[in-house]
Structure formats: structure tokens, C-alpha cells
Homo-oligomer: A and B are copies of this chain.
């Protein structure tokens, strides 16, 4: 297919490389030009204006957050100039409010819109092992499904309303942060009785909690290994805020999300904002005087 790809961070770059390998023609655009050059060597066409990428059979975007999506796609009229019928799959983790706004704008302009946030870090993107949550009109989803098959291990269909995919992604990240908090408190408790975090977590992550999230973050907590950051703590705060805002929009109290938010702020206040979000576990330790 002849596609555009917008946003070449660690995630986007890995995804484009896979699309190129699978034989797709990809026009790429990024705010800063560095990443584009590497992909040009792998066969991508680098375009200088975002609207040149927003064309072809379909366009995928993988931008950092609401602010970036708004700046790149909404504030400068890119959508207004896009060819009617073009399908856009937005793979970023964004707020449900922006997701709703985007869905409406695309519909008003006769553009297809698929919300397709993913679970998986850059290494999973590189290995084409992403889990893709896809929601949008069936025809639009059908158009980009062949691309998703290149990018991920599985596409999880979530119906016609794009917001549904975003809220599931937000809920998933909230659950990950909850798991970190839970391990952090459990480790602070057992440490006070002389049991090292590693001893606790080795048992639990090999039995009841033998899941990727617990094994991964549990390993980091056991070793107090929070640098380099796989996912920055400040981004964790952002994602918990997305959960709280989504809840507020529907009057859904989320006391555990509130607790996480306060914990992330505590971590940031103590200088851990740029560390991996597993460093949330240090807050539990610090509360106990350690």
C-alpha cells in the first residue's frame, strides 16, 4: 500500500521499519528531522510538510500525546486539506475528549478514522509484537487491518466508536500503574520484616502473578533498577491523568487512580520524574522512612 506515517519517535520508527520490510511504500514526516533520515535509508520517502504524509491509501500516526496530536493534525488545518475518503489510524494514547473530537472532525470532513492505540514498548514494536486495540467504522478498520497485521501480534477489535479503543488503552495503563503500586507497598511491608523485595516478587511473579507486567516491573523493583527509563514516570502521571479525566467526564470515581496520581507527584517532587515509572515503588518505601 501507499501510506503516510506521522510521528517517528522510538515507537513510530520501529513501526515504519516493519512496514517498509513488508513492502509498503511509506511517506514519513516528523517534527524533528533526525529519525526520518535513518528510515530514508531503509526506503521511506521523507516529506517536508505533514499534509504530504496525510494522503495515499491510508495514514498512520503515532504522536506523543494530546498536545502533539492537536498541534500536528488539528491546529494547522491538515485534516481540512486531506482527500475525502482517506483513512487515518491514530495509534497514540490520547484523552477520550480528544478522541471524541477527532472522530467528529474526521466524520465531518468525510475522512475515515480508526483509533488504534497499542500495548507494547519500542522493543515490542520492533519485533512486530504489538497488541493493537482498534475501533472505528468497519470499512475504515478493514482498510488498515493489513497494516496492523504487519505491526502487531494481534488486533483486538473494539467496535465502531473510536473512543472505545482509547478508553481501553487508558484503563490498561491504569492497571499497570496499579500493579506497580501494589508491588511497591507489598515490598515495603515485607522489607520491614526482613524479606527482600526480590524474594517476595520471585515467589509471586512465578505463581499467582506470572504475567508480563508483574515479571517486568517486579524485576525492576527487586533490583531498584529505574534507569534508563523504558517509560518515563512523568508519562505515567500523564496516563493516570487521562484515566481521571475520562472518569470525570462520566462521573466515575477512581480512588485507586487518585492514589496513583498522588504517588507519581510524590515521586516527581523527589526527583524521580525522568526515571522509569516503576520508580513509583520508591514512594511506598519512602513513606516507611526508608
Contacts and interface: CB of A to CB of B under 8 A. Distances in A.
Interface in A231-290: 243, 246-248, 250-259, 261-263, 265-266, 268-271, 273, 284, 287-289
A69 interface: no
A167 interface: yes
A203 B178 CA distance: 17
A192 interface: yes
Given A243-B189, A253-B287, A178 B176 contact: no
A214 B263 CA distance: 24
Contact of A251 (B179, B187, B247, B289): B289
B204 A175 contact: yes
A183 interface: yes
Contacts of A119: 207-208
Nearest to A268: B251
A100 B66 CA distance: 23
A278 B187 CA distance: 23
Interface residues of A, number: 74
Given A208-B211, A208-B213, A265-B253, A190 B167 contact: yes
Contacts of A163: 193
Interface stretch (A8-16, A41-49, A86-94, A194-202): A194-202
A269 B251 contact: yes
A251 B211 contact: no
B256 A192 contact: no
A53 B191 CA distance: 35
Contacts of A181: 178, 256
A184 to B, nearest CB: 9
A248 to B, nearest CB: 6
A118 B211 CA distance: 20
A194 B159 CA distance: 10
A185 B244 CA distance: 11
Interface string A208-239: 11111110000000000000000000000000
8 contacts: A119-B208, A154-B207, A158-B199, A168-B190, A171-B200, A253-B288, A254-B284, A258-B262
